[in-house]
Structure 1
Amino acid sequence: MSLITLRNLGVTLSAPLFSQLNLSINAGDRIGLVAANGRGKSTLLRCTAGTMEAGEGDITRSRGLTVGHVEQQVPPALLEIPFYDAVLAALPEETQASEAWRVDVTLDSLQVPDDLRQRALGQLSGGWLRLAMLARVWVREPDLLLLDEPTNHLDLAKIALLEDWLNALPRDVPVLVASHDRAFLDATTNRTLFLRPERSQLFPLAYSRARAALEDADAAEERRYQRDIKTAQQLRKQAAKLNNIGINSGSDLLVVKTKQLKERAERLEEAAKPAHQERSAGAVRLASQGTHAKVLVTLEDAAVTIPDGTLLFRTGQRFICQGDRIVLLGRNGAGKSRLIAMLRRAIAQPDASVEGVKATPALVLGYGDQALADLDDGQTPHHALTHRFDVGDQRARSLLAGAGIAIEKQARPIGQLSGGQKARLGLLMLRLAEPNFYLLDEPTNHLDIEGQEALEGELLRPNVSCLLVSHDRSFVRAVGSRFWLIEGRKLIEVDGPEAFFASASQMGG
């Protein structure tokens, strides 16, 4: 029996997000919800939770069903409240005293350290904030769990912890999760819904296998469409021939036959639907000036320290060569971002000597960090572009539109953009700088799957060189050609990322 059934559901905002969507959610379902940024995932979750009305169709819930919805945003009013109290406050007030034990059980299941439990939510990392919002929902023991981008801001250990936690849930509790993390979807789901404006597709498979099935279905649909259109064209040609013969011979039979052929052609053309073409949320393109230097950066046993001088690790002698795509691996706090900051300073400020780091003078740096700190939230996208680069008004509008930032948003503050739009704006800035070496710290944090794959394609082009940090396992596997691991106060080269991923999973489990 279905716990919740969606029938012919549809929502249209400025354009249709989805329509005629049919979905039954049953006990034991773990459904991955996949779509580009701004294409209706959060909207569908809100409709399912009952906090938003769909424009068409209806939703039937089983009697007494409770739905737990973990949204992306943290209510500002909670930021001053200690972690423990924020979770306790999610329980009905009349039961808080007698059922406070539920809070301890929930926090234990999410491995929340004791010292964090009395810390205000506003003092927590983005990852712990996400888990705090999950704890507030789960402490009420809902019958259905809805998760909106649950891995955003989580490091590998916390992603592993969340995967293990989800997989250990009672099997009868269904979960609907919207995520751009392909490896996470593969690890936690058994069905995948690809949300589309028309004809959304559902497969009883985890993401990667469902994606392959979707591509096969789209290819078959396209072949069917082309075949039907070709048949219709042939029928029209036959009708035209018979029409000419009929006119010349005065045969009523041929006139009738001509009409029948035309009607068959029209029916085919009306019924034929082209295969789904994904409407891009904005192009991700990078550009490289190129350099003739073979060795781009030399590390001569550079010391990576925290501000008080305490040593985190030494690099040993390392070389970054043209065409290298180096992924920097290490646990949180190991010093990954500090090494990137050192390299950035050495490349961007050649006069400021950075001990142990030597960069070729031909380097043009493209830097992108996880907070997109190079973007001023008070500026508009249009102002940011025209004042930093030599592009005119019309060219700037065109570039921004191509990056998925609509005309009406180009004159609003950057702070009002979504995370995905900010990420695309940051990548557009990178592209216009035309670097020949990229330093990227969590570049996929807010990119949807389409954007991740486009960025992968750009980084895999010949002669692109980069050093990057990412918690996205699929992205790391696709892009990395070399792997540096921070371990035991040393930077060592390893054959691949899998052993580190496995150790991170053990830390999270």
Structure 2
Amino acid sequence: MALINLRSLGVTLGAPLFSDLNLSIGPGDRLGIVAANGRGKSTLLRAMTGSFEPTSGEITRSRGLRIGHVEQNLPAGLGDATFHDAVLDALPAEQAESESWRVDVALGELDVPDELHQRRLSQLSGGWQRLAMLARVWVTEPDMLLLDEPTNHLDLARIGQLEDWLNALPRDVPVVVCSHDRAFLDAVTNRTLFLRPQGSQVFSLPYSRARAALDEIDASEERRFQKDMKTAQQLRRQAAKLNNIGINSGSDLLVVKTKQLKERADRLEDAARPAHQERSAGAIRLANRGTHAKVLVTLDDAAVGTPDGTLLFKTGRLWIRQGDRVVLLGANGVGKTRLVGMVRQAIEAPQTAGEAIKATPSLVLGYGDQGLSDLGDDDTPLGVLTRRFELGEQRARSLLAGAGVGIDMQTSMVGRLSGGQKARLGMLVLRLRNPNFYLLDEPTNHLDIEGQEALEKELMDREASCLLVSHDRSFVRAVGNRFWLIQNRRVVEVDGPERFFAEVAGRG
């Protein structure tokens, strides 16, 4: 029996986000919702809860249905509460007084360490804040869970724990997940909704298999469209020939036949529908100026430590050669970002970097960190380009528009951009630097699936050399051709990432 039914549902905010959507969600459903940034996923979740009124259609919910909605951002004012009290506050007053033990149960199920229970949320990482929001919802014992980008800010270990927790939920509790994490969707869903302005598609398959089915449908529709348009053109050419013959011969029969052929062509063209073309949230393109050097970076047993001098690990003797796409693997906090910073220093300021890490002098660096700290929130996108590069204003505006930063946002503060727009602006800055070596720390943060796939394609098509850190398993699998694992205070080269992924998720 369905717990929620959506009938002919549509939302238009300036332009249609989605329309004529029919969907039922019942016990046992684990539904993944996939769409580009800003295309209606969060709006659809709010419509399901009743907090947003759709433009058209209707939603029916089973009587007494309790929906638990975990949104993307921490509610205002909650940062000053401790982890424990933030969850306790979600319970009704009478229940909070007599059944506070429910909080400890919820925190235990989510593996929240005891030492964090009395820490203020504002003092915790974004990942712990997201788990606090999930605990606040779960402690109320909802009949259905709606999760909006639940893996944001989570490291691989926490993503693995979240996957295990979701898969261990009672099967009668349906879960609806909006996410750009392809591996996560494959691990926790059994249905997939591809949300589109028209013709949204639902499959009883997890993401990757559903995506393959969707691509085949789109390809088939495109073939049918091209065939119909070709047939219509042939009919019009035949009609034109018959029309000329009819005029010269004065044949009324040929005039009638000409009219019939044109009408058939009109009907074909009116009925033909091109395959869905996803409107891009902004292009991602990279550059690779190349270099004659074969060995780009040499690490000669470099010691990587904390700011206070505590040794984290030593690298051993390693090389990065032209064409290497090296993925740095290791548990959270083991020092991956510290090593990336040391390599950056060796390229940009070799005189201060010491002898243990050497970069060939011809390297031109393209660096991007997970916080996009190179883009000041008080600057404007137009200012970022015109001050850093020799570009006229018109050229800069055109590049920004192509990257998904519209005219209306180009002179606004960078801090007002969405995460996806800011990430694409960062990629545009990297491209304009025209590097021949990339250092990328969590480059897929804030990118939708289209952006992730575009970045993967650019790195491989450009044969870019890079050292990267990422929690995105699909991205790592697609891009990496060498893998360095930090373990036991050493860096060892491994054949692939799968064993590490399994171990960090507690499944090794």
Please state which band the TM-score falls in when normalised by the shorter chain.
over 0.9
Partner of 1:260: 260
Residue 360, structure 1, aligned to residue 360, structure 2: yes
CA distance in 1: counterparts of 2:503 and 2:354, whole angstroms:
32
User: If the length of structure 2 is used for normalisation, what is the TM-score?
Assistant: 0.97
Partner of 1:31: 31
Gaps in structure 1 of 5+ consecutive residues: none
Partner of 2:54: 54
Please give the secondary structure, in 2, of the residue aligned with 1:132: helix
Letter in 2 for 1:138: W
CA distance in 1: counterparts of 2:242 and 2:387, whole angstroms:
66
Please give the secondary structure, in 2, of the residue aligned with 1:261: helix
Please give the secondary structure, in 1, of the residue aligned with 2:502: helix
Letter in 2 for 1:84: H
User: If the length of structure 1 is used for normalisation, what is the TM-score?
Assistant: 0.97
CA distance in 1: counterparts of 2:499 and 2:316, whole angstroms:
21
CA distance in 1: counterparts of 2:169 and 2:414, whole angstroms:
39
Deviations 1:48-81 (A, max 9, x none): 1211111121111111111111111112300010
TM-superposed deviation, 1:242: 4.4
TM-superposed deviation, 1:244: 4.5
CA distance in 1: counterparts of 2:267 and 2:248, whole angstroms:
28
Deviations 1:190-219 (A, max 9, x none): 111111111111111111111110111011
Tell me, yes or no, if the aligned pair for 2:29 and 2:190 is still in contact at 8 Å.
yes
Tell me, yes or no, if the aligned pair for 2:288 and 2:462 is still in contact at 8 Å.
no
Letter in 1 for 2:339: L
Partner of 2:336: 336
Partner of 1:492: 492
Partner of 1:375: 375
Partner of 1:21: 21
Please give the secondary structure, in 2, of the residue aligned with 1:216: helix
Partner of 2:76: 76
Partner of 1:315: 315
CA distance in 2: counterparts of 1:240 and 1:295, whole angstroms:
65
Tell me, yes or no, if the aligned pair for 2:306 and 2:312 is still in contact at 8 Å.
yes
Partner of 2:482: 482
Please give the secondary structure, in 1, of the residue aligned with 2:312: strand
Deviations 1:156-207 (A, max 9, x none): 0000001001101111111111111111111111111111111111111111
Residue 397, structure 1, aligned to residue 397, structure 2: yes
Deviations 1:378-437 (A, max 9, x none): 111111111111111111111111111111011111111111111111111111111111
Aligned counterparts, 1:435-454, within 5 A: 435-454=435-454
Partner of 1:224: 224
Aligned counterparts, 1:241-260, within 5 A: 241-247=241-247, 254-260=254-260
Deviates more, 1:93-102 or 1:333-342: 93-102
Cα RMSD (Å) of the superposition? 1.6
Please give the secondary structure, in 2, of the residue aligned with 1:196: coil
TM-superposed deviation, 1:138: 1.2
How many residues of Structure 1 are paired with residues of Structure 2 in the alignment?
A: 508
CA distance in 2: counterparts of 1:259 and 1:292, whole angstroms:
66
TM-superposed deviation, 1:265: 2.2
Residue 170, structure 1, aligned to residue 170, structure 2: yes
TM-superposed deviation, 1:461: 2.8
Aligned counterparts, 1:76-155, within 5 A: 76-155=76-155
CA distance in 2: counterparts of 1:485 and 1:13, whole angstroms:
47
Tell me, yes or no, if the aligned pair for 1:342 and 1:354 is still in contact at 8 Å.
no
Deviations 1:88-116 (A, max 9, x none): 10111221112212211111110000000
TM-superposed deviation, 1:247: 4.8
Residue 200, structure 1, aligned to residue 200, structure 2: yes
CA distance in 1: counterparts of 2:76 and 2:439, whole angstroms:
33
Residue 283, structure 1, aligned to residue 267, structure 2: no
Deviations 1:254-307 (A, max 9, x none): 544443333332222111100011111111111122111111111111111101
Partner of 1:411: 411
